[in-house]
Amino acid sequence: MANLLLAEAGAGSSWWVYVILLVAVVALLVFPFFTQKKRNKQFSDMVSGLEVGDEVKTIGGIMGKIVKIIKENGMAKSVIIESGMGSNKSTLEFDVTCIAYSLTEHALVEEKKEEAKVEEKKEESDKKEEQTEVSAKEEVKEVEAKPTKKTSKKSK
């Protein structure tokens, strides 16, 4: 591929092709590093925030409530999840790395998003009300500012 680029570029101006290739390689190597670091931080925050009673979903799709957290050296190593309904409940032990996400945490995040949307709509409606009040006041001022024409009829 580089030979094709060099052949098209000509012999004298090939340095910029190397620069572009170098930038592309560096970007492809560095970009995944930062995104993976962010994901790892989010996961560790989620794991450290797990508590007994939280509802979780595993990477296999099993959903349930945390009954017990087994810790080793102060870090959560595995969790015991109660899954099922009624008399068909079962308890399963999972490694912490098998937890995809906390349903309780997702519910809180979604609730906050809904509250933000409601607040935003309220602010928009308040702004619209203020605009209509201002425009109504301006119309009243315009009407008051216009000179009224008094026509007096002369009696003959």
Residue 65 has a pLDDT of: 93
Place of tokens 């591929």: 1
At 91-144, the pLDDT tens digits run 999 999 899 888 876 666 666 777 778 888 888 887 777 777 777 777 777 767
- Claim to verify: residue 59 and residue 99 sit in the same structural domain: yes
- Claim to verify: residue 8 and residue 42 sit in the same structural domain: yes
Asked if residue 155 belongs to a domain, the reply is no
Give the H or E element holding residue 143.
Answer: helix 103-145
Domain of 75, CATH number, reads 2.30.30
Residue 62 in contact with residue 83, Cβ under 8 Å? yes
Over 90: is that where the pLDDT of 31 sits?
A: no
Over 70: is that where the pLDDT of 3 sits?
A: no
Asked if residue 138 belongs to a domain, the reply is no
- Claim to verify: residue 44 and residue 113 sit in the same structural domain: no
Residue 80 has a pLDDT of: 92
- Claim to verify: residue 29 and residue 68 sit in the same structural domain: no
At 39-96, the pLDDT tens digits run 888 888 888 888 898 899 999 999 999 999 998 888 888 899 999 888 889 999 999 9
Residue 4's pLDDT band (cuts 50, 70, 90): low
- Claim to verify: residue 70 and residue 124 sit in the same structural domain: yes
- Claim to verify: residue 29 and residue 60 sit in the same structural domain: no
Residue 76 has a pLDDT of: 81
Take residue 1 and report the two structure tokens written for it. Answer: 């591929």
- Claim to verify: residue 43 and residue 57 sit in the same structural domain: no
Asked if residue 134 belongs to a domain, the reply is no
The C-alpha atoms of residue 39 and residue 58 are separated, in whole angstroms, by 16
Domain enclosing residue 68, as ranges = 51-128
Q: How many separate domains does the chain show?
A: 2
